[in-house]
């Protein structure tokens, strides 16, 4: 399975990766920008650089091993490829944006300014045999591309050789079930989710999803039973009122 490894300690925030991504994907760029500036992900920016606690950190879709966006998509517009990337098919999308709500990394964006908007996200350049264009554009080798297990080995070896340089943890290895975008860092990464048992989001939600039909039937049964009891009580009250009226009428005649 393919993946990328981003070493936060090597990133200088030069934005070459962002420039390469925008150019390769022919994304709209504000002509008023004299140069690329650091900013959030958007419908026109699939990868970006954010400054966190004095460090420059790449942000993009992390291509979860068990992506919640794929589970949330009603029409199969998002799929997980065997090679690792999570890819998007705009021709199937109905614009419900459930994928955006389900993403624990808030990495999926929408073309809010477009008259015909679509979901937009990094696809890890899955159709480029040479690998993601952002990786090749990095002049400092802050980002590597390769097999996930090999990159994990590289990350662990760097931590072993320079324990004072890194937090002893490969971010993305297990969080939310694991991802295909891994991070080495000397600072905490606040956008990395914390989930019980390092479980994936689908793993956590699937039991509830399976139970939902039965819960719905249970609630419906309760409502039907309650409605029956209320209707019967009202009917009995009406009968008592009629009987009381009849008795009163008979008494006045006598």
Buried b vs exposed e over 52-64: b needs ≥16 C-beta within 10 Å?
beeebbbbbbbbb
Distances (CA, A) of 9 to 12, 13, 21, 96, 158: 8, 11, 21, 38, 11
Report d(CA 206, CA 200) in Å as an integer: 10
pLDDT, tens digit, 9 for 90 and up, residues 118-146: 899 999 999 888 899 999 999 999 999 99
Q: What is the pLDDT averaged over residues 225-231? A: 71
Report d(CA 160, CA 154) in Å as an integer: 10
Cβ proximity of 192 and 175 under 8 Å:
yes
Quote the pTM value.
0.75
Q: What is the pLDDT of residue 209?
A: 44
Percent share of the chain, pLDDT over 90: 56
Non-local (6+) Cβ contacts of 123 within 8 A are: 46, 61, 85, 86, 87, 88
Report d(CA 122, CA 126) in Å as an integer: 10
The tokens for 170 are: 């490969």
Q: What is the pLDDT of residue 34?
A: 45
pLDDT, tens digit, 9 for 90 and up, residues 78-89: 999 999 999 999
Q: What is the pLDDT averaged over residues 74-102? A: 93
Q: What is the pLDDT averaged over residues 88-115? A: 90
pLDDT, tens digit, 9 for 90 and up, residues 7-52: 999 999 999 999 899 889 888 666 555 456 777 888 888 999 999 9
Non-local (6+) Cβ contacts of 199 within 8 A are: 176, 177
Lowest pLDDT segment from 75-79, 87-91, 112-116 = 112-116
């Amino acid at each position: 399975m393919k993946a990328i490894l981003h070493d936060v300690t090597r990133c200088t925030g030069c934005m070459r990766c962002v420039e390469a991504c925008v150019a390769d994907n022919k994304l709209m760029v504000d002509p008023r920008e004299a140069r690329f500036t650091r900013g959030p992900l958007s419908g026109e920016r699939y990868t970006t650089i954010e400054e966190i606690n004095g460090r420059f950190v790449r942000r993009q879709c992390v291509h979860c091993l068990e992506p919640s966006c794929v589970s949330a998509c009603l029409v199969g517009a998002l799929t997980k490829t065997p090679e690792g990337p999570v890819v998007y098919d705009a021709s199937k999308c109905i614009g419900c944006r459930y994928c955006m709500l389900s993403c624990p990394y808030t990495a999926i964006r929408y073309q809010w300014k477009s008259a015909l908007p679509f979901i937009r996200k990094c696809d890890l350049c899955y159709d480029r045999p040479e690998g993601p264009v952002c990786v090749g554009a990095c002049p400092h080798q802050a980002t590597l591309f390769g097999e996930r297990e090999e990159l994990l080995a590289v990350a662990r070896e760097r931590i072993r050789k320079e324990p004072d340089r890194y937090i002893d943890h490969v971010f993305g290895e297990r969080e939310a079930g694991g991802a295909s975008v891994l991070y080495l860092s000397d600072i905490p990464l606040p956008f990395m989710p914390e989930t019980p048992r390092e479980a994936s989001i689908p793993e956590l939600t699937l039991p509830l999803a399976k139970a939902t039909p039965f819960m719905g039937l249970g609630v419906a049964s309760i409502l039907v039973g309650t409605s029956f009891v209320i209707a019967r009580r009202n009917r009995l009250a009406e009968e008592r009122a009629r009987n009381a009226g009849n008795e009163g009428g008979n008494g006045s005649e006598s």
